Amino acid sequence: MRKRALGVAALTSLALAATACGGSQPGTPSAAPSGSAAASSSAPADKGSGKLVIWADPNRVKALKPFAEQFGTENGVTVEVKEISKDNQQTFLTASQQGSGPDIMVGAHDWIGNLVQNGAIDPVNLTDAQKAAFPEIAIKAVTFDGQVMAAPYAVENIALIRNTKLAPEAPATLEDMVKKGKELKAAGKVKEVLCLPVAQKGDAFHVYPIFAAGGGSLFGTTASGDPDPKKVLLGSPDSVKAFGKLKELGEKGDGALKTSITNENYVASFAGGKCAFLISGPWAMGDVKKGGISYDITPVPSFKDGKPATPFVGVQSFFVASKGKSKTLAQEFVANYVTNKDVAKALYAADPRPPALTEALQEVGATDPDAGKFMDAGKNGLPMPAIPEMQAVWEPFGIAEAAVVKGGDAAKAAEAAQKAIDSSLKN
Amino acid sequence: MSLDVRAAAGSHAPPRPRREITTAFLVSRVVVLAVAAALLVYAAPPLVAAGSWPALVVLGLATAAIAYLYLTRRFIPAKYLIPGTVFLIAFQVFPVLYTVSTAFTNFGDGHRGDKQAAITAIETGSVRQAPGSPEYSLTTALKGDRLVFLLVDPKTKQVQAGDPAGLAPVPGAQVGVTGKVLRAPGFTVLTAPQAAARAQQIAALAVPTRGGLIKANGLSRAVEGRSALVYDARCDCVQGEGDRWKADEGQGYFVNATGAHLAQGWQVSVGFANFSRVLTNPTISGYFIGVFGWNVVFALASVGATFALGMAVALALHHPRMRGTRFYRIALILPYAMPSFAMLLVWRDMFNRDFGLINQLFGLDVDWMGQPSTARFAVILVNLWLGFPYMFLVTTGALQAIPRELTEAASIDGATPWQGFRKVTLPLLLVALTPLLISSFAYNFNNFNAIALTSEGGPFPAESPQVGATDLLITYTFRLAFGTYGAQFGFAASISVFIFAIVAIISAVAFRRTRRQEEVYA
């Protein structure tokens, strides 16, 4: 009995010893960030650790590793590629602030606004020749307030993917597509008219091309052509009309848009032959190919006499962390090393998102036509607004979409979304 | 938690005048002290490097206190009490205090760092390449032991040496095809690994020119640029681009005459602003009563339903004539053993109108998550499934402690089984289980996952997209604090303080009532 009591005592004291450290930490959180930030920014004489740390999502870690290692041997430094799988942007911001962040972050261009307002990234200086190697839309997407803030490597947008066995002809208009889908459904060949995720909370990203085709828009533009957060247009008469179009396509109308179709089931349904049309991006192609159906990729069509159905374009990019410990190496890697077509091709092989470099895209396109087709579909797309204010738009927009899809009043839904966004932006 | 510690300390530590020294005693002491010392050695250097002297003092004192406490023969109760107390401070008291102190700041996106960091970010973020300046290709070299930049103008192939004093031409340098300097008289050209090892020095070197500064951009290029925006300490403002932004310590932003601010801000104390925002913001206060009402219903229904079902199953298995109880017990605990995260997502998909198992199984066409009443029913049902095994477990445990003679005596006295349960078993069960029911209520009151992973707070009426029919206070305010406009930790913290107060009051009242009940039955 005594021995056991002693064992318990030993265990608890171990725990105590462990927490003694934790218990004494409380003093540090407030003191450490400023201390370490000062150490990294004002004391660059601190001897170079010769180490470059890159954070990326799981898909890309494997593709990056060989290139990171090559860069490491060329420059005599160790390069560590670390996998971050959840809440990447917030994880990066929090870690950066504490001084434990990476030197290079891989992420989407629409983070830029938020990363800039938190002072987390530095501009990336690309030469004119380097800029010319990218399509205009990629450079436009990573340009914020007149400064290039990241090096783009992949461009992704959604397109219309159709089952060519069920629907041999690419529909010229959205009306044609719905008509064809309904015919197939009536004939019992498919279960759903269109596979586009809506879900109970709406999906602003996927519905945007149809919303734009109906004439809707999110923001006005500033003098420099950037989205203007002071002018939210979701409640404008044109947008109300667009919401009306979504209502017509919705559950009480054509049944093309349904809240039961969600991000979890829409690609699987298409791959399983349950619908002839899918609106999705390059990330869906793995599952589509596994389904073994014949398919083609075309731009999302517009309504008859409608506006262009512009999808959002997202640009995957490399960022240089401003609180990183080896900024020179990070600049070298991002501005001069990663903007090379072999890296772009390897990243494409790991995760098929069309490479941003025009040259790499052409080479990839020779063996895989999908990449070029997606690129074509996004040619006139809208780079996802990178301003931090965009975060206030996603959810109200989605909920308004879900409301009209369920048959709610378009004007009321648009007005409520506008009001919600304006109140959180304090317009 | 504190209750447990007290109970443990009381029962395990009878005062003992003298303790014989066993091997286990010796080994355990050595291990504990070694771990404590190791942690001190591990944690001290970073603290010294960061200059956090108060934290270092606390760490040293804590280590010393542990060493003293476990080396002396005295303070036996403290040996047992201290671990619990430390845990309490580390995991309960400190987070609460930290949350409360955060609630008085504007900590959040745009206001994460201090003012100096914001100024640095503004200045470096506005560095623009000097118009018409060449894209120098850069070779790093040493002159003596000083670092210099050898800059090659790609058009003229002219080589210049740059150091903090400025630019000077380098005659007789040999330039390779890539634009790198191969050899230069009087300089030692650095190889790539040598340059990489000096990365910090390279980043720090700025060569002044007439138009601005030449700085390295990586290891192979250098750019002449200038900050468009510059901080001026005399006016405590940022100037440039034909405008002037004055520091506003109330907002933590640089603000210009028209009221517009620069993107980068810093963390400041905002007093009670977050709290008053919770109370006065019409989108919060306007919906508060409705959300709060549903939240109470959800928590009560979750506790009531899980307890009723768990207890019913426990009673059935407790019956002496029940066979195969072991098998049933294992089967019943399964939902509890599976990760609730995954289960919640599976349930969400089962409630899907067109693809969900429930509609297909029963041949229904109900839009479960699309209507307020069915969505509320669905989330409670899911929570019931997830929660009843816990209630089953604790009731089974408590039932073992109730002597069967009591119910037998009741039945001899002519009580029906229902009366026996109602008047004998249930009250005795409640004495033991009420504290658990209260803590379960507090848990379900803030059961973020049960809502966020199933209905996500929806369905949302078209007229008010901010608040859904199944939103709890925690999911609703989470969306306001994090979903609408970046992360607003200060605001979120003030909301947590309110929710903490609500739950604390409800729990305190309930515990008080329990004590009265215990006095009756004890």
Query: Sign of torsion, CA A255 A275 A399 B494?
Result: positive
User: Is residue B519 over pLDDT 80?
Assistant: no
User: Is residue B311 over pLDDT 90?
Assistant: yes
| Dist. CA B448–CA B454, nearest whole Å | 10
User: Is residue B321 over pLDDT 70?
Assistant: yes
pLDDT the model gives residue B486:
76
Residue with the larger pLDDT of the pair A44 and B513: B513
- Taking CA atoms, what residue in A is nearest to B111? A118
| Dist. CA A83–CA A62, nearest whole Å | 9
Q: Which residues of B198-227 are buried (b: 16+ CB within 10 A; e: fewer)?
A: bbbbbbbbebebeebbbbbbbbbbbbbbbb
Query: Residue A78 in 3-state DSSP?
Result: strand
Identity of the residue in B109, B114, B483 whose CB atom sits nearest the CB atom of A388:
B109
| Dist. CA A273–CA A14, nearest whole Å | 59
Q: Which residues of A288-312 are buried (b: 16+ CB within 10 A; e: fewer)?
A: beebebebbbebbbbbeebbebbbb
Residues B208 and B301 both lie in one domain: no
Residue with the larger pLDDT of the pair B237 and A4: B237
Q: pLDDT band at residue B266, thresholds of 50, 70 and 90?
A: very high
Place of tokens 């399509």: A135
Chain A residues near residue B197 by CB distance under 8 angstroms? 48, 50, 76-77
Cβ–Cβ below 8 Å for B90 and A39: no
Chain B residues near residue A26 by CB distance under 8 angstroms? 55, 58, 94, 98
Would you call B197 an interface residue with chain A, using a CB distance cutoff of 8 Å?
yes
- Taking CA atoms, what residue in A is nearest to B367? A260
| Dist. CA B487–CA B29, nearest whole Å | 46
Cβ–Cβ below 8 Å for A328 and B218: yes
User: Is residue B496 over pLDDT 80?
Assistant: yes
pLDDT the model gives residue A18:
40
| Dist. CA A260–CA B353, nearest whole Å | 6
User: Is residue B16 over pLDDT 70?
Assistant: no
The count of other CB atoms within 10 Å of the CB of residue A228 is: 17
Chain B residues near residue A389 by CB distance under 8 angstroms? 485
Is position B107 within any domain? no
CA distances from A90 to A316, B108, B265 (A): 17, 11, 17
pLDDT the model gives residue A48:
44
How many distinct structural domains can be found in chain B?
3
Would you call B212 an interface residue with chain A, using a CB distance cutoff of 8 Å?
no
Residue A413: both structure tokens together? 């839904």
- Contact between A186 and A252 (Cβ < 8 Å): no
Is position B301 within any domain? yes
Q: Of A44-48, B240-244, B397-401, which gets the smallest average pLDDT?
A: A44-48
Residue type, B478: F
Residues B371 and B467 both lie in one domain: yes
Cβ–Cβ below 8 Å for B32 and A22: no
Query: Sign of torsion, CA B417 B418 B424 B430?
Result: positive
Residues B302 and B397 both lie in one domain: yes
Distance from CA of B419 to the nearest CA of A (A): 44
Q: pLDDT band at residue B522, thresholds of 50, 70 and 90?
A: low
* pTM of the predicted structure, to 2 decimals: 0.81
**% of chain B residues with pLDDT over 70:** 95
Identity of the residue in A14, A25, A76 whose CB atom sits nearest the CB atom of B196:
A76
Contacts of A271 (CB under 8 A, 6+ apart): A287, A288, A290, A291, A293
Q: pLDDT band at residue B55, thresholds of 50, 70 and 90?
A: confident
| Dist. CA B481–CA A212, nearest whole Å | 29
Cβ–Cβ below 8 Å for B32 and A16: yes
Tens of pLDDT, residues B441-475: 989 999 999 999 998 887 888 777 778 899 998 89
Cβ–Cβ below 8 Å for B129 and A6: no
| Dist. CA A302–CA B90, nearest whole Å | 59
Q: Domain-by-domain residue ranges, chain A?
A: 51-156+314-383, 159-310+387-425
Query: Half-sphere exposure (CA, 13 Å, Cβ side) for B297?
Result: 14
Cβ–Cβ below 8 Å for B58 and A123: no
Q: pLDDT band at residue B186, thresholds of 50, 70 and 90?
A: confident
Identity of the residue in B27, B55, B455 whose CB atom sits nearest the CB atom of A27:
B55
| Dist. CA A194–CA A182, nearest whole Å | 9
Q: pLDDT band at residue B105, thresholds of 50, 70 and 90?
A: very high
Query: Residue B155 in 3-state DSSP?
Result: coil
Distance from CA of A134 to the nearest CA of B (A): 19
Comparing C-alpha atoms, which of B44, B88, B442, B112 is closest to residue B264? B112
Is position B345 within any domain? yes
DSSP annotation of A171 reads: P
Boundary of a domain, candidates B61, B84, B102? B102
Q: List strand residue ranges (DSSP E) for B411-508, in order.
A: none
> What angle do the packed helices B489-521 and B94-102 form, to 10 degrees?
140
How many CB pairs below 8 Å do chains A and B form together? 315
Comparing C-alpha atoms, which of A351, A385, A381 is closest to residue A368? A351
pLDDT the model gives residue A33:
35
The whole-number average pLDDT for the span B378-398 is 93
Chain B residues near residue A8 by CB distance under 8 angstroms? 12
The whole-number average pLDDT for the span B352-359 is 88
Residue A420: both structure tokens together? 């919600």
Cα B212 off chain centre by: 43
Boundary of a domain, candidates B68, B102, B136? B102
Identity of the residue in A13, A26, A192 whose CB atom sits nearest the CB atom of B94:
A26
Would you call B48 an interface residue with chain A, using a CB distance cutoff of 8 Å?
no
- Taking CA atoms, what residue in B is nearest to A423? B283
Place of tokens 């002072």: A119
Domain that holds residue B37: 2-102
Place of tokens 């530590």: B13
pLDDT the model gives residue B15:
53
Comparing C-alpha atoms, which of A154, A134, A72 is closest to residue A350? A154
Candidates 3.40.190.10, 3.40.50.2300, 3.50.40.10, 3.40.50.720; CATH matching A51-156+314-383: 3.40.190.10
Q: pLDDT band at residue B20, thresholds of 50, 70 and 90?
A: low
Residue A309: both structure tokens together? 């159905």
Is position B95 within any domain? yes
Would you call B27 an interface residue with chain A, using a CB distance cutoff of 8 Å?
yes
| Dist. CA B237–CA B411, nearest whole Å | 86
Q: pLDDT band at residue B193, thresholds of 50, 70 and 90?
A: confident
Residue type, A103: D
Tens of pLDDT, residues A102-122: 999 999 999 999 999 999 999
- Taking CA atoms, what residue in B is nearest to A410? B462
Residues B69 and B143 both lie in one domain: no
Cβ–Cβ below 8 Å for A388 and B201: no
Interface test with B, best of A2, A11, A13 (most B CBs within 10 A): A13
Query: Sign of torsion, CA A177 A179 A182 A187?
Result: negative
Residues B302 and B341 both lie in one domain: yes
pLDDT the model gives residue B440:
93
Q: List strand residue ranges (DSSP E) for A198-342, in order.
A: 219-221, 227-232, 277-280, 295-298, 312-321
- Which ranges of chain A have pLDDT less than 70? 1-49, 427
Is position B295 within any domain? yes
Cβ–Cβ below 8 Å for A48 and B89: no
Is position B272 within any domain? no
Residues 72-91, chain B, touching A (beta carbon < 8 A): 79-80, 82-83, 86-87, 89-90
Cβ–Cβ below 8 Å for B124 and A123: yes
pLDDT the model gives residue B30:
85
Identity of the residue in A46, A128, A400 whose CB atom sits nearest the CB atom of B200:
A46
- Taking CA atoms, what residue in A is nearest to B365? A260
Residues B208 and B77 both lie in one domain: no
Would you call B203 an interface residue with chain A, using a CB distance cutoff of 8 Å?
yes
| Dist. CA A257–CA A197, nearest whole Å | 8
Q: List strand residue ranges (DSSP E) for B350-403, in order.
A: none
pLDDT the model gives residue B354:
86
Distance from CA of A320 to the nearest CA of B (A): 11
Q: pLDDT band at residue B143, thresholds of 50, 70 and 90?
A: confident
Cβ–Cβ below 8 Å for B197 and A48: yes
Cβ–Cβ below 8 Å for A16 and B86: yes
Chain A residues near residue B461 by CB distance under 8 angstroms? 403
Average pLDDT of the residues of chain B:
85
Q: What is the CATH number of the domain that holds B434?
A: 1.10.3720.10
Interface test with B, best of A399, A404, A419, A424 (most B CBs within 10 A): A399
The whole-number average pLDDT for the span B423-430 is 88
Q: pLDDT band at residue B380, thresholds of 50, 70 and 90?
A: very high
Identity of the residue in B52, B66, B196 whose CB atom sits nearest the CB atom of A16:
B66
- Contact between B265 and B105 (Cβ < 8 Å): no
Bond prior to A152 in cis (omega within 30° of 0): no
User: Is residue B352 over pLDDT 60?
Assistant: yes
Cβ–Cβ below 8 Å for B50 and A10: no
Comparing C-alpha atoms, which of A7, A43, A408 is closest to residue B12? A7
| Dist. CA A25–CA B58, nearest whole Å | 9
Is position B458 within any domain? yes
Cα B36 off chain centre by: 27
Chain A residues near residue B32 by CB distance under 8 angstroms? 10, 13-14, 16-17
Residues B22 and B168 both lie in one domain: no
A51-156+314-383 and A159-310+387-425 share one fold: yes
In terms of C-beta distances under 8 Å and separation of at least 24 residues, what long-range contacts does A91-96 make, across chains too? A92/A55, A92/A120, A92/A321, A93/A118, A93/A120, A93/B109, A93/B112, A96/A120, A96/A321, A96/A322, A96/A323
- The fold of the A159-310+387-425 domain, in CATH, is D-Maltodextrin-Binding Protein; domain 2 (3.40.190)
Residue B290: both structure tokens together? 């409705």
Comparing C-alpha atoms, which of B379, B390, B373 is closest to residue B298? B379
The whole-number average pLDDT for the span B358-383 is 91
pLDDT the model gives residue A106:
92
| Sheet of B237-240, strands arranged across | B230-232, B237-240, B243-248, B253-255
